[in-house]
Amino acid sequence: MRELTLDDIDDLALGATLLGTGGGGDPYVGKLLVSQAIADHGPARVVSADELPDDGLVLTTAIIGAPTVILEKIPAGTEFRSGIQALAAYLGEDPVALMPIEVGGVNTLVPIATAVEMGLPVVDADGMRRAFPQIEMTVFTLHDLPAGPLSIADEKGNMCVFEANTNQIAESLARAAVIQLGLADAISCYPMKVADVRRAGIAGSMSYCTEVGKRLAQVKRGAEGAWDELLDYTDAAHVFSGKVIDIDRRTTEGFARGTVVLEHLDDLGRTMRVEIQNENLVAFEDGDAVVTVPDLLCLLDYESADPITTEGLAYGQRLNVLAMPCAPEWHRDGMLDLVGPRAFGYDIDYVDFRERTRCGG
């Protein structure tokens, strides 16, 4: 077990913003929730699955909705505990720990704050090691672990618990509820035993998130060699630098969807188009796909190196575009069916950006 203190939060939040690939919600509010929880109750306890009993129950909590709404609808904080308590009551068992469902954006921080408030440890693992917009898009689905039963709770005390035959139906039911409850609510899903976390989860993802944040903080401070260290640690590649010349962004069907077009800073004849569904999904350069899900597509401010969330994109911004490989745990049968480009409606094949960069593209 290790303790997570206020001194660790900035690096964790910075790494979470980058791994959120534009989505996952702006971590600023999450930082406030964690800071208040730690100030009130003491440090968070972070454990590995190996430190918990195999038959113990692990529950998750997160914000579900559209990042454009999450930006304005500040959580009360009580909805996360309410959702967990409702699901625990339905299951007839209390959790031994909480876990983030994704390591990306505010949903990295919400489980920490909630675990501290409830006196529980948080497991150093998750189901994505990035952010994805839909409930079924986890490595747990690839291991045939169900997303349900799951609970949805809002800040006004409304809550519900769903059973679902498939994780895709769980997404449909949850999304319909969230649309009715304001598009920024608490969800607790993928209830599982510790043994399932050990077998199927992405272990060490919170620690990885913090290490990424430390390296990005060095880039922001202008430390010598920091960019190369960040790229080496994450196996990432810098694929484009451009100015935002067009944005189409809208909230529809419970998601923030849109397109942003960048014009290259040095070669005005080159453009890049980034497609968004809560997260940055696919980048096209001059019509050709160059980065695709499940790999990470990250936009950073050209001067400050701040990761830019989809709701923070603005006309005229100058951005660096980074591509980062997805966690190795994703590379199982069914990966592309679940989180490849066609899962989001793009009639293109997965592109390994590392092959392109090795060839000098």
CATH code at position 257? 2.40.390
pLDDT digits (tens, 9 = 90+) for 193-248: 999 999 999 999 999 999 999 999 999 999 999 999 999 999 999 999 999 999 99
- Are 67 and 190 part of one and the same domain? yes
- Tell me which residue of 78, 69, 254 sits closest to 153, measured CA to CA: 78
227 part of a folded domain: no
Phi, psi of 335 (to 5 degrees): -55, -50
Which of 162, 185, 205 lies at the terminal end of a domain, its last residue?
205
Binning pLDDT at 50, 70 and 90, where does residue 114 land?
A: very high
CA distances from 144 to 138, 190, 193, 327 (A): 10, 11, 14, 18
- Are 163 and 90 part of one and the same domain? yes
- The per-residue pLDDT for 163 is 97
- The per-residue pLDDT for 95 is 98
Structural domains of the chain, count = 2
- The per-residue pLDDT for 25 is 77
- Tell me which residue of 151, 141, 135, 134 sits closest to 185, measured CA to CA: 151
Q: What percentage of the chain carries pLDDT values higher than 90? A: 85
- Are 18 and 163 part of one and the same domain? yes
Residues 242, 269 contacting (CB under 8 angstroms): no
Which of 205, 222, 243 lies at the terminal end of a domain, its last residue?
205
Residue scoring higher pLDDT (5 or 138): 138
Q: What is the mean pLDDT of the chain?
A: 94
62-78 average pLDDT score: 82
- Are 134 and 175 part of one and the same domain? yes
Residues 249, 276 contacting (CB under 8 angstroms): yes
Binning pLDDT at 50, 70 and 90, where does residue 358 land?
A: low
pLDDT higher than 80, residue 356: no
- Are 201 and 239 part of one and the same domain? no
Residues 67, 258 contacting (CB under 8 angstroms): no
Q: What is the 3-state secondary structure (H, E, C) of the chain?
A: CEEECHHHHHHHHHHHHHHCCCCCCCHHHHHHHHHHHHHHHCCEEEECHHHCCCCCEEEECEEEECHHHHCCCCCCCHHHHHHHHHHHHHHCCCCCEEECCCCCHHHHCHHHHHHHHHCCCEECEECCCCCCCCCCCCHHHHCCCCCCCEEEECCCCCEEEECCCCHHHHHHHHHHHHHHCCCEEEEECCCEEHHHHHHHCEECHHHHHHHHHHHHHHHHCCCCCHHHHHHHHHCCEEEEEEEEEEEEEEEECCEEEEEEEEEECCCCCCEEEEEEECEEEEEEECCEEEEECCCEEEEEECCCCCECCHHHCCCCCEEEEEEECCCHHHCCCCHHHHHCHHHHCCCCCCCCHHHHHHCCC
pLDDT digits (tens, 9 = 90+) for 287-312: 899 999 999 999 999 999 999 998 89
Residue with tokens 């609970």: 151
- Are 65 and 145 part of one and the same domain? yes
> How, if at all, do strands 97-99 and 57-60 pair?
parallel
pTM over 0.85: yes
- Are 131 and 185 part of one and the same domain? yes
Binning pLDDT at 50, 70 and 90, where does residue 75 land?
A: confident
- Are 194 and 243 part of one and the same domain? no
- The per-residue pLDDT for 357 is 62
Phi, psi of 247 (to 5 degrees): -135, 135
Spatial distance between the Cα atoms of 5 and 195, rounded to a whole number of angstroms: 28
Does the CA dihedral 150-154-159-160 come out positive or negative?
Answer: negative
pLDDT digits (tens, 9 = 90+) for 254-264: 788 999 999 99
- The per-residue pLDDT for 256 is 81
Inter-residue long-range contacts of 8-13, CB under 8 Å, 24+ positions, other chains counted: 8/210, 9/34, 9/35, 9/38, 9/109, 10/213, 10/217, 11/210, 11/213, 11/214, 11/217, 12/108, 12/109, 12/206, 12/209, 12/210, 12/213, 13/108, 13/109, 13/213
Residue with tokens 């043994």: 195
- What range does the domain containing 264 cover? 235-358
- Are 18 and 64 part of one and the same domain? yes
Residue scoring higher pLDDT (167 or 357): 167
218 part of a folded domain: no
pLDDT digits (tens, 9 = 90+) for 118-136: 999 999 999 999 999 999 9
CATH code for the domain in which residue 85 is found: 3.40.1610.10
- The per-residue pLDDT for 359 is 52
- The per-residue pLDDT for 149 is 98
